Structure 1
Amino acid sequence: MAPGIRIMQKLSSTRAFARVAPHFVPAVDRAVHRLTRGRVLLSAWMLPGVILTAKGARSGLPRTTPLACMPEEASGGSGGGRGGGKACDSWILIGSNFGRAGHPAWTANLMKHPDARISWRGEGIEVTARLLKGAERAAAWQAVLKFWPPYATYQARVEREIRLFRLEERRSR
């Protein structure tokens, strides 16, 4: 593992990061994403990321949120090659809220309106979200912890169970 990633994992596990990051990381990601026409997310230099657009749970209005994600390799080994790297057709979103109390608002949005859109490496993709439960959640949680260990620190800091969602690409019907 690269030294920069180890440093970022330690930094992202701190309470100070949890207090400050929610105020600047999404704003910077939105601005850079807009300026690069969807090609760049600064936070994706450490973790893969998507821009999620989902209907608000109460308002029904589109809500756009930059989020870290764990891409899942496409079944069968092909999935259109989403802009380089491993092809994928599903993504795990982690409702960690940087280890702060309370579920992030985007999780309520997906629970009420599971059909959404993501921008993944500059490509717009229609997806359906599913809240993971039981054994499926347990398996995904273990994969998430292997992928980015600081999520264990976030979970230890809060009493709520961190919500995990699997986003699956909606195929043309």
Structure 2
Amino acid sequence: MLKGIHAVRWHELQDACGPARDVPDLLSRAAWGDAPSSRDAIDRLKDHICELGFVVREATAPTIPFLVELAEAPHIQCRPEILDLLLSIARANQWSNAAAAMPSDRAGDYAEPLDWERACRSALHDAAPSLQKLASSLESDVAQPAREIIQLLKGSDDSGRQSHEHAPRQRMDPWMSQ
């Protein structure tokens, strides 16, 4: 569980609190803590990677595969909270909305945050097979947010644009150690 977490250069990524150094510890607490500490870890993680419940950061996309992995593990105490966090990330479009409201000569001001939103959508698209499994869970507090995420992703490519074909893609995640 959480294999590859140390391959991510968390210290180089920013979250809402600064360098994302706390993210691996919070994911570990969610994975191996009792119910109260797992839920607390996810609540704190939300403050770091999905500020105010709708603002993603640079460290958000690299966190998504680990959150999905935890959500799939039946022994994890906070699966509904993890899926609620993933749903908040899927709904996040604060940077897109802000960029759309800007005059065209300032559109470049939002290039990096728009990339964060696109990276999150891409990571969620990559997790679609896992989300499909979670959507068929008998636990409604797990299945319902998974179904909502899938609905948000339907009809859009990994950048959020409408797409009718999903061609396989190869990419190298820039936040991974080589």
Global fold match (TM > 0.5): no
Identify, as 1 or 2, the structure richer in strand. Answer: 1
Identify, as 1 or 2, the structure richer in helix. Answer: 2
TM-score (norm. length: structure 2): 0.29
TM-score (norm. length: structure 1): 0.29
